Amino acid sequence: MDFKQLAQKYQTPLYVYDFAHFSEQFNKLKEAFKARKSLICYAIKANSNLSVIKHFANLQSGADCVSIGEVKRALLAGVPKYKIIFSGVGKRDDEIKEALELDILMINVESQAEMQRIEEIAKSMNKEARISIRVNPNIDPKTHPYISTGLHENKFGVDIDTATRMYLQSKQSDYLNPIGIHFHIGSQLTELEPIKEASQIVADLVRKLQKVDIDIKFFDVGGGLGVQYDDEVLIQPYDYAQAILSTLSGLDVTIVMEPGRYLSANGGYFITSVLYEKQNGDRRFVIVDGAMNDLIRPSLYNAYHKIEVLSDNTQVSKANIVGPVCESGDFFAKDVEVPLTKHGDLVVIHSAGAYGFVMSSNYNTRPRPAEVGIINNQDKLIRKRETFEDLIALEKEYM
């Protein structure tokens, strides 16, 4: 990818996405599950640019959404309503109502109280809500605590006993139709065993439910497949599929997946330009024009992203790569060996296609970067760079 040319054409900071990589990832995963009925519902929270969602929709992807805004994005981008699921631990009444009006595939329910709410709302609309219950299998996924979700200490889902009770209740209701079951134990998973264990626990529940005539059609294994940021040993799609399939013998279910990071992370690059170099004592800083408001993963999770410095200089030394925001947490990398730079050299941050732009903010009144897609070998602007005017538009009239 010609980062220099892209930076010249679109300025920096800039997000660039390789759509061919997105396709490759999608196809690898789909292929791994070909022995069974499966539906990939791209977790659009990872990268919800409309062109990105549309690209996955064209590959026959569905969408996993966590707000009604995401549901609307998915529909707008061409995802058919019967492939859209709505998850999330705290859905508002208006969101539930709209999801029912839009007649999407199913709502993932995360608590007893939420199920009651959904039932009441469905009743008031004289509709039947298709639901799936998120089971918390109490499995340690062995990932970063902020993105671990499958333990009882986390706020997500309900335990097996509660889930069982909820299925029995929903079966009795005229306004609820339990068609699915769901689990998601965490993100950036690199170990297969916890996924297999969770799948086994949930599949056993499906068998139990079958005996009382509750017929689960969608077995939703969530997302979470890890990607290469550094030197991780990754779960291969084939092994992932085999692990899940091995727990499903005798069950006629459609396997639903909700991958986000796996599909989009490594296709994305964040390009930023060097503003200055400076030395504070024995510490070298490379100050770039991108910042934590644009890409927050290093600051928030201490996440590692591979950094590529495009410099003509061959002299290398340790430096911190930092942004201009007034926080010491505003860094992209610490103590990395990089060449000496001059004003205008580019720094490319890899694996920025997931949880990059979507987690950006306007902190410090910084307009968000533009987004560019490389689509059929051509670069295409898929989101304009924000302007100062965009940032103040909703405030100006009240002054």
CB of 297 to ligand LLP, least distance (A): 5
Shorter beta-carbon distance to ligand LLP: residue 206 or 295: 295
Q: For ligand LLP, give the closer residue by CB, 132 or 173.
A: 132
Q: Please pick, among 326, 343, 377, 396, the residue that the annotation labels catalytic.
A: 326
b/e burial code for range 44-55 (CB count within 10 A of at least 16 → b): bbbbbbbbbbbb
Instruction: Give the interface segment with ligand LLP, choosing from 123-131, 260-268, 342-350, 361-369 (CB under 6 A).
Output: 260-268
What phi and psi values does residue 7 have, to the nearest 5 degrees? -65, -40
Based on the shown chain and the rule CB under 6 A, indicate whether residue 43 belongs to the binding site for ligand LLP.
yes
> 384, 330, 281: which is closest to 50 by C-alpha?
384
* From 261, 305, 366, 368, residue interacting with ligand LLP (rule: CB under 6 A): 261
Would you list the DSSP string of 245-259?
HTT-TT---EEEE--
Residues numbered 222-251 forming contacts with ligand LLP, rule: CB under 6 A: 222-225
Q: How far is the CB of 35 from ligand LLP (least distance, A)?
A: 22
262 is an interface residue for ligand LLP by CB under 6 A? yes
Report if residue 141 touches ligand LLP, rule: CB under 6 A. Answer: no
The structure tokens listed for 106 are: 């199913």
Q: Which is nearer to ligand LLP, 61 or 341 (CB)?
A: 61
Six token digits for residue 107: 């709502």
Least CB distance from residue 225 to ligand LLP, whole Å? 6
Output the smallest distance, CB 371 to ligand LLP, in A.
Answer: 17
Binding of ligand LLP at residue 22 (CB under 6 A)?
A: no
Binding of residue 110 to ligand LLP (CB under 6 A): no
Distance of closest approach, residue 42 Cβ to ligand LLP, in angstroms: 9
What burial letters (b/e) apply to 160-196, b meaning 16+ CB within 10 Å?
Answer: beebbebbeebeebebbebbbbbbbbbbbbbebebbb
Neighbouring CB atoms inside 10 A of 384's CB total: 12
Contacts of 326 (CB under 8 A, 6+ apart): 364
Q: How many amino acids of this chain bind ligand LLP (CB under 6 A)?
A: 21
Nearer to ligand LLP, 164 or 299 (CB): 299
Pick from 148, 355, 360, 366: which binds ligand LLP (CB under 6 A)?
355
326 catalytic residue (yes or no):
yes
Q: Which residues of 310-344 are buried (b: 16+ CB within 10 A; e: fewer)?
A: bbeeeeeeebbbbbbbeeeebbbbeebebbbbeee
Supply the DSSP symbol for 145.
Answer: G
Are 122 and 128 within 8 A, CB to CB? yes
- Give me the helices (H) in 35-111, please: 50-58, 68-76, 93-102
Among 13, 141, 237, 260, binds ligand LLP (CB under 6 A): 260
Question: Which residues of the chain form contacts with ligand LLP (CB under 6 A)?
Answer: 43, 46, 64, 87, 147, 184, 187-188, 222-225, 258-262, 297, 301, 354-355
